[in-house]
Amino acid sequence: MNDDRHPAPRERDAATQEAAQAAVTREAGTHDAGPGTAQDTAPQAAPGATPEATTDPAPVAAQPAPPPRFPGYDVLAKWDSPSFDDVTRGVLAQRLDNVPPRRWLTPAEWDTLDAINARLLPQPDRAAPIPITPWIDAMLHDNRGEGYRHPDMPPLRDAWRQGLAAVDDEARRRHDRPFAALDAARQDALLHAIEAGHVTSPRWQGLDVARFFIHHLVKTAAGIYYAHPAAWNEIGFGGPAAPRGYVRLGFDARDPWEAKEAP
């Protein structure tokens, strides 16, 4: 997705996968129904059908941030250590200091996607939230995908443009306002419905709803989030293995320069 992401060291693979899954189950609760909630074969309602939800959702209560899993860990403290070289520092500086401007999405599409990302990955504990939407826009501007697409999905840019328009149209049909203007509870309820394939907008025609939700919205947002050093601190990721490498290779072994997990 993004060429400036580095693979986690082998000890952290499971933790990274767990954290990436947690990215879509955080405070918004968008995926709290567990694995299998959104299948690629999720049913799609006929255009014009009555939406499943008929009552207003309850307000979303603010949830306290969980205690840090790796307290006191700051991957950027390794900046001048043997763990990082000039290549790594250059990549990190680009990620931290050069957030791309809007170049491909329209202002309305940007607002819709930004509101979606805020519910998929809420960051109420961050004074400066990790930017996600700008990097998706950069990906689309460069037309840079993963090198493949599912045969039942449109090309990358077309899928994103159509999917965002469909999300917004669902919001207007149900609540007579764009997705970005809905409160958090209604946004979450609508994302739940889209995840389950309970949609009515004709704008979904030709686009697999569940596949767009999981493979475009969720996976892309989670991947970009965990490409940022601030998110590395959450999962104890130390950056690329090179140039320092790892010495202690035994089960559950930890080198002194790796993050220490809370007991």
3-state helix, strand and coil shares in percent for the chain, rounded to the nearest 5: 45, 0, 55
| Residue 100 and residue 138 in contact, taking contact as beta carbons nearer than 8 Å | yes
pTM: 0.75
40: in domain: no
Residue 122 belongs to domain spanning: 10-30+70-235
The predicted-structure confidence for 45-58, as pLDDT tens digits, reads as follows 434 343 444 456 66
What is residue 15's predicted lDDT score, i.e. its pLDDT? 39
Give the pLDDT confidence score for residue 67 in this predicted structure: 87
Q: Where are the beta strands (DSSP E) in the chain?
A: none
Examine residue 241 and state whether it is found in any structural domain, yes or no: no
Instruction: Copy the structure tokens of residue 46.
Output: 């006929």
Asked whether residue 240 carries a pLDDT value surpassing 90, the answer given is: no
Mean pLDDT, residues 218-247 taken together: 93
CA 203 to mean position of chain CA atoms: 23
Angle ∠(234,230,110) on CA atoms, nearest 5: 115
Asked if the structure places residue 65 within a domain, the reply is: no
Evaluate whether residue 48 is within a structural domain: no
pLDDT at 250: 87
193 located within any domain? yes
Q: Are 119 and 28 in contact (CB under 8 A)?
A: yes
User: pLDDT tens for residues 6-22?
Assistant: 333 333 333 334 444 44
Give the model's pLDDT for residue 60. 62
Structure tokens of 39? 């299948």
In a domain, 49, yes or no: no
55 located within any domain: no
64 has a pLDDT exceeding 50: yes
Task: Establish if 81 belongs to a structural domain.
Answer: yes
Give how many domains the chain has, as a whole number.
1
Structure tokens at 172: 């207007």
